[in-house]
Amino acid sequence: MDIAQAIREIESQVGRISPVQKFLLGTDGSVTQLLESVTGKKVVIRTLVQKIVPAGRETADNLSIAEGDPVNYRIVEIRTGDTGDVLIYAISHTPLSRLSPEFRDDLMKADIPIGRIIQQHHIEARRQLLNARVLPATEETGRIFSIARNEPVLSRQYQIIHSGKPLIFIEEQFPYNRFLDTRRVIVSTPSRIHVTLIDMNGGSGRVDGGIGISLDEPGILLEAELSPVLQVSGGDAATRERVGQLAAGVLQKIGAGGSVAITVRSSYPAHVGLGSGSQLSLAVARAISELHGRHLPVRELARLVGRGGTSGIGTAAFEYGGFIIDGGHRFGEGGEKTDFRPSSASRDVSPPPVISRHDFPEDWRILLAIPDLPPGASGGTETDIFRNHCPVPLSEVRELCHEVLMRMLPGIAGRDLELFGSSVNAVQGLGFKKVELGLQPAPVTGLLDRLRESGAAGAGLSSFGPAVYAVGDTGMTGIERAAQEFMQETGGGTTILTGARNSGARVRTE
């Protein structure tokens, strides 16, 4: 293959890669020796899997053997000897018929680099590179490298040729954000369900208050590095424009002496009810502040980007994850707020305190169903809704508070799915959530009914929608299928089956 062309293709997908990364992708020599030269450390092998398996069709083609022939299947991590940092994840297939007994014995011994075995046995061999490409990190590779799922991973596949035949087929992988020649901050955020606002009456002297659940998927994943000028890449045009505006504002407010280049690796749509605005804003603020040596608390980041002025669920999800309740703001003369406004119109108001936070049960699943409908209320339309529909009846606020305190919270704390789900259902008809739901088109309200009829323990509208959610146990495939069928009948939509994230945003510096 043409390695120079392959590298150009990789760079077109992920951005510039470093000289060391190019060497690792294109070398025809020993990777372990190259890693020891690059890191200045002893490199060791940790074998994860070693077994004899019959060759599948793809493996047989890669090794020019018959399908079903026995091959040694080996998975190893190449690590630094002192710290144990995983540098390379490698999978190899070796046909037993082409091995001498001595070579086979050494190969089957754990933790010996293949290059060293070849050298010890004085085997004349060459490496033939087959491809070099970019892959998204899977859950498994994310765990191995301690990186976010879907973070770019660089991969190459090659054969070791001996006597004109493939002796070994190997695939090696390493994260795009390793072996860099620039410092980079990577931020991975959750999304969130906004269950409801608690008190949009204000008669108690406090207002707002929010309930929410952090989600593992979808999420925001971005990278930032120092740059002479502000640059934004990745994502769609609207996301790039938004990130550019956020970055310019943060740089000015913290008095940074330089600029940044930000790459958006993954994002999700705004104004569907899953809080992308808060997560994107806080991710940009965190990345920039860390790059410039400012280790700011999340509340300060929120003030920089004007988030959390009504509901604090977005900022709390970014900081803590899990199931969250915030305590709202002081209301009335001398208070933090004197009228009813959404967060987008409350940029001068600090995020509210978190008054309760619990891990969401890991064996409960959450189904998101997002109909193909216009985005939920935002901007002036959202502000008008708050103005026209608040205050809500005090009796409903009191009923909602009782529902949350005596049913929803005990459902979470006691891991009682039926109690929690029925409380979610009850909340849909109370206070400001009743207002939000009453403004939805028939496909949204009908979808909620379908989710409950299909067996969901509870179902609700997230924020102003159109995203709805269902909570259940591990058997959610039938509920997901029912949601998909309903949305196909009413204009289309997408589903995501996920779980809660019981930790906040993940930040890493490479």
Cβ-contact 318, 190 below 8 angstroms: yes
**Residues 136 and 258 grouped into a single domain:** no
**For a pLDDT cut of 90, what percent of the chain falls above it?**
81
Least confident range of 90-104, 188-202, 386-400, 405-419: 90-104
CB atoms closer than 10 angstroms to residue 8: 10
Beta strands of 308-351 (E only): which ranges?
Answer: 323-326, 329-330
**Residues 464 and 479 grouped into a single domain:** yes
Nearest to 447 by CA among 424, 420, 479, 406: 479
When pLDDT is averaged across residues 24-48 and rounded to a whole number, the result is 89
Residue type for 432, please? F
Angle between helices 31-39 and 19-26 (to 10 degrees): 160
Question: pLDDT per residue over 413-425, tens digit each?
Answer: 999 999 999 999 9
**Residues 145 and 269 grouped into a single domain:** no
pLDDT for residue 498 is more than 90:
yes
Residue type for 442, please? A
The band of 1, judged by pLDDT with boundaries at 50, 70 and 90, is confident
Supply φ then ψ for residue 499, to 5 degrees. Answer: -140, 175
pLDDT for residue 258 is more than 80:
yes
When pLDDT is averaged across residues 104-109 and rounded to a whole number, the result is 74
**Residues 147 and 236 grouped into a single domain:** no
| Measured CA angle at 1 (ends 150, 130), to 5 deg | 55
Least confident range of 38-52, 198-212, 430-444, 479-493: 38-52
Question: pLDDT per residue over 367-380, tens digit each?
Answer: 999 999 998 888 89
**Residues 169 and 241 grouped into a single domain:** no
Cβ-contact 495, 369 below 8 angstroms: yes
Supply φ then ψ for residue 459, to 5 degrees. Answer: -145, 145
**Residues 162 and 208 grouped into a single domain:** no
When pLDDT is averaged across residues 162-184 and rounded to a whole number, the result is 92
- List C-alpha distances in Å: 413 to 149, 417, 460, 501: 29, 10, 20, 16
CB atoms closer than 10 angstroms to residue 252: 10
Question: pLDDT per residue over 317-327, tens digit each?
Answer: 999 999 999 99
In angstroms, the CA 329 to CA 210 distance is 11
The band of 110, judged by pLDDT with boundaries at 50, 70 and 90, is low
pLDDT for residue 108 is more than 80:
no
pLDDT for residue 104 is more than 80:
no
* Domain limit, last residue, from 152, 181, 210: 181
The band of 119, judged by pLDDT with boundaries at 50, 70 and 90, is confident
Nearby residues of 337 by Cβ (< 8 Å), 6 or more positions away:
207, 208, 329, 330, 331, 346, 349
**Residues 130 and 260 grouped into a single domain:** no
Q: What is the CATH number of the domain that holds 299?
A: 3.30.230.120
When pLDDT is averaged across residues 229-233 and rounded to a whole number, the result is 95
Nearest to 148 by CA among 6, 312, 267: 267
The band of 73, judged by pLDDT with boundaries at 50, 70 and 90, is very high
**Residues 148 and 197 grouped into a single domain:** no
In angstroms, the CA 494 to CA 218 distance is 12
The band of 446, judged by pLDDT with boundaries at 50, 70 and 90, is very high
pTM of the model: 0.89
pLDDT at 475: 83
Query: 126 or 159: whose pLDDT is higher?
Result: 159
**Residues 71 and 24 grouped into a single domain:** yes
Enclosing domain of residue 500: 187-508
Look at the block and give the residue holding tokens 């020599």.
29
In angstroms, the CA 406 to CA 427 distance is 13
pLDDT for residue 33 is more than 90:
no
The whole-chain average pLDDT of the chain stands at 93
**Residues 177 and 191 grouped into a single domain:** no
pLDDT for residue 509 is more than 90:
yes
